[in-house]
Amino acid sequence: MLVPIVTKKLPLLLGFLIAVGPLSTDMYLPAFPQIAVDFHNQAAPQISLAAYFVGLAFGQMTIGALSDRLGRRSPLLVGLVIYTLASIGCAFCWSVSSLAVFRFLAALGCSAGVVVPRAMVRDLADGPAAAKLFSKLVLVMGVAPIVAPMLGAMVVLVSNWRMIFIVAAMYGVLAVLLVWRKLPDTLPAERRTRVGLAAVLIRYVTISRERAFITHAAVGAFTSAALFAYLSATPQIFIGGYGWNTAEYAALFGLNAIAYIGYNQMNPALVNRFGIGPVIVFAVSVLVMSCLILVALTLHPIGPLGVMVALLMSEIGFGLINPCAMVGALSRHQAHAGSASALLGTMQYTGGAIAGLTMGVLGNNTVGPMAVAMLACALAAAAAAWARPPLIFSPVEN
């Protein structure tokens, strides 16, 4: 049963917490060229982004199990404190290696803000009701990818890229205070698991072998990898290749974020009418088509406008797939939603780390490497979508 006072506050508060993730990635995207110049290393920004994704992958596996054992609130608080301190470390780093280490540590802490809110949603809802709540969260957290790159561009214009991480640390402090004062625990003591490390590992293996989980998680993971390839490559393409300034790039990113939110908010209505499966198939098909257009633009370039249109089209896939993939992956794992959410996130961010490193190695300020990487990921997501089993949801309260 949903507690009324929690229901009213939950989307706003959890959306704010989940937004720590996109804030930590999107805010420093406009600073990529400056970071590369400061460290005399063109791949430095992508290395730091890949380290962040690796930290998220490892952190979520730990936080997920802890949140099933200790409840949702305490691991979330500890993680946000680590994130805040590590963000301060990023601001005072002295080399590419130190930046990567602090970004890794920040991600370990930030992973609590990624895993725990999703598990809280699963504590309270399932099926279409969960999809509706996930979409509400995305609506709230959607402010982050719109505002973050613009804020990062403003900071770079008036100060330097290091100040971006001071702003991130301030966000972390506010998140800690809100959790401490406002967020109840959604996992009662009687539903918490009391298992050791071996049992936790066995649980992860068991979850990964369940067909509904692994196929939906793979759809989400490959879709996220395509998104992370886009995140890693577009600063180089538009700022380095097309000669845009940081404010222009931030505006483009904000436009894409608005499109993402708009498509995401269509998700509950589409799911209620057509079901999760058909929505996933449609969204994956659109994503593949948009990536094919990007590849075509690589062979026959027409300038930034064509790339912008294709990226906006890809947001249909990104906006519709992720909520459905989350619901499908977690649908049969209410008893250990934290672990399932962690494994789901680990798969997503492992793909993101690989995509980020690939863009760092192959990136050449052109659309080609990004287009090929995104198409490969989209085709893999389509294959996983084809392999999904039918879903049967338990009765839930809307």
149: which residues sit within 8 A by CB, 6+ positions away? 26, 27, 29, 30, 249, 250, 253, 254
> Taking 50 as the threshold, does the pLDDT of residue 3 lie above it?
no
In a domain, 393, yes or no: no
Share of the chain above pLDDT 70, in %: 88
**Parent domain of 356:** 4-185+209-386
- Render the burial of 300-323: b for 16+ CB within 10 Å, e for the rest: eeeebebbeebbbbbbbbbbbbbb
In a domain, 195, yes or no: no
7 dihedral zone (left: phi>0; alpha: psi -120 to 50; beta)? alpha
Query: Across the chain, what does the average pLDDT equal?
Result: 83
Instruction: List the structure tokens of 139.
Output: 């609506």
In a domain, 194, yes or no: no
Q: Please indicate whether residue 365 or residue 133 has the higher confidence score (pLDDT).
A: 365
If 0-12 CB within 10 Å is exposed, 13-18 middle and 19+ buried, where does residue 333 land?
buried
In a domain, 192, yes or no: no
Our count of domains for the chain comes to 1
Q: How many helices (H) and strands (E) does the chain have?
A: 16, 0
Q: pLDDT grade, residue 333 (50/70/90)? A: low
Q: Rounded mean pLDDT of 301-326?
A: 90
pLDDT of residue 267: 83
3-class secondary structure, 6? helix
43: which residues sit within 8 A by CB, 6+ positions away? 36, 360, 361, 363
In a domain, 348, yes or no: yes
pTM (predicted TM-score): 0.74
Q: pLDDT grade, residue 280 (50/70/90)? A: very high
3-class secondary structure, 209? coil
326-331-337-342 Cα dihedral, nearest 10 degrees: -30
pLDDT digits (tens, 9 = 90+) for 151-168: 888 888 888 899 999 999
Yes or no: say if 336 and 326 are a contact pair by the CB < 8 Å rule: no
Yes or no: say if 68 and 192 are a contact pair by the CB < 8 Å rule: yes
In a domain, 37, yes or no: yes
HEC string of 288-344 equals: HHHHHHHHHHHHCCCCHHHHHHHHHHHHHHHHHHHHHHHHHHHCCCHHHHHHHHHHH
24-118-187-204 Cα dihedral, nearest 10 degrees: -100
User: How many other CB atoms are found less than 10 A from the CB of residue 196?
Assistant: 9
pLDDT of residue 1: 38
Q: At what angle do helices 96-124 and 4-18 cross, to 10 degrees?
A: 160
pLDDT digits (tens, 9 = 90+) for 30-69: 888 889 899 998 888 888 988 998 888 788 778 877 887 7
pLDDT digits (tens, 9 = 90+) for 345-375: 778 878 877 887 788 778 788 899 999 999 9
Q: pLDDT grade, residue 335 (50/70/90)? A: low
> Taking 60 as the threshold, does the pLDDT of residue 2 lie above it?
no
Q: Which amino acid is at 297?
A: L
How many Å apart are CA 350 and CA 222, to the nearest integer? 10
How many Å apart are CA 195 and CA 348, to the nearest integer? 25
In a domain, 249, yes or no: yes
How many Å apart are CA 103 and CA 24, to the nearest integer? 9
CATH no. for residue 76? 1.20.1250.20
In a domain, 99, yes or no: yes
24: which residues sit within 8 A by CB, 6+ positions away? 52, 83, 87, 106, 107, 110, 168
pLDDT of residue 384: 94
* C-alpha distances in Å from residue 137, one per residue of 26, 201, 289, 338, 369: 18, 30, 28, 17, 32
Among 291, 310, 253, 265, which residue's Cα sits nearest to residue 376? 291
The secondary structure of 347-358 as a DSSP string is: HHHHHHHHHHHH
pLDDT digits (tens, 9 = 90+) for 165-220: 999 999 999 999 999 888 877 777 777 776 666 777 787 788 888 888 899 999 99
3-class secondary structure, 394? coil
> Taking 50 as the threshold, does the pLDDT of residue 5 lie above it?
no
Among 124, 118, 129, 390, which residue's Cα sits nearest to residue 272? 129
> Taking 50 as the threshold, does the pLDDT of residue 397 lie above it?
no
Yes or no: say if 45 and 359 are a contact pair by the CB < 8 Å rule: no
